[in-house]
Amino acid sequence: MNLGFSYRTEVQRADVLVEWLCREFPHSSRGIWSARVEAGEVEVNGVRAPAAPAVPLVAAGDVVVWHRPGWEEDEVPRRWAVVHEDEEVVVVDKPAGLPTLPAGGFLTHTLLAFVRSRYPEASPMHRLGRGTSGLVVFGRTVESRSRLQLAWRSGEVAKTYRARVEGAPEAAFVVDAAIGRVAHPRLGTIWAASPAGKASVSRVRTVAVDGAGALVDVDIETGRPHQIRIHLAYAGHPLLGDPLFGVGGTPRSDALPGDLGYFLRAWRIEFPTASGRQQVSVSPDDPAIE
- What domains lie within the chain, and their CATH numbers? 5-68 (3.10.290.10), 73-154+284-288 (3.30.2350.10), 157-257 (3.30.2350.10)
What radius of gyration do the chain's Cα atoms show? 21
For residue 186, what are the contacts with CB-CB under 8 A and spacing of at least 6?
Answer: 26, 27, 253, 256
The CA dihedral of 250, 251, 252, 257, to the nearest 10 degrees, is 160
CB–CB of 257/103 below 8 Å? no
Query: 2-13, pLDDT tens digit by residue?
Result: 999 999 999 999
For residue 288, name the pLDDT band (cuts at 50, 70, 90): low
Report residue 281: phi and psi, to 5°. Answer: -115, 125
Average pLDDT, the chain: 93
Please say if the pLDDT value at position 166 is more than 90: yes
What is the average pLDDT across 106-118? 96
For residue 120, what are the contacts with CB-CB under 8 A and spacing of at least 6?
Answer: none
DSSP string, 178-241: -EEEEEETTTEEEEEE-TTSB---EEEEEEEEETTEEEEEEEESS--TTHHHHHHHHTT-PBTT
pLDDT number for residue 100: 96
Residue 123 burial by CB count (10 A; 0-12/13-18/19+): exposed, middle or buried?
middle
Query: 120-162, pLDDT tens digit by residue?
Result: 999 999 999 999 999 999 999 999 999 999 999 988 999 999 9
Task: Please give the Cα distance from 177 to 230 (Å, whole number).
Answer: 9
Quick one: which H or E segment has residue 163? strand 158-165
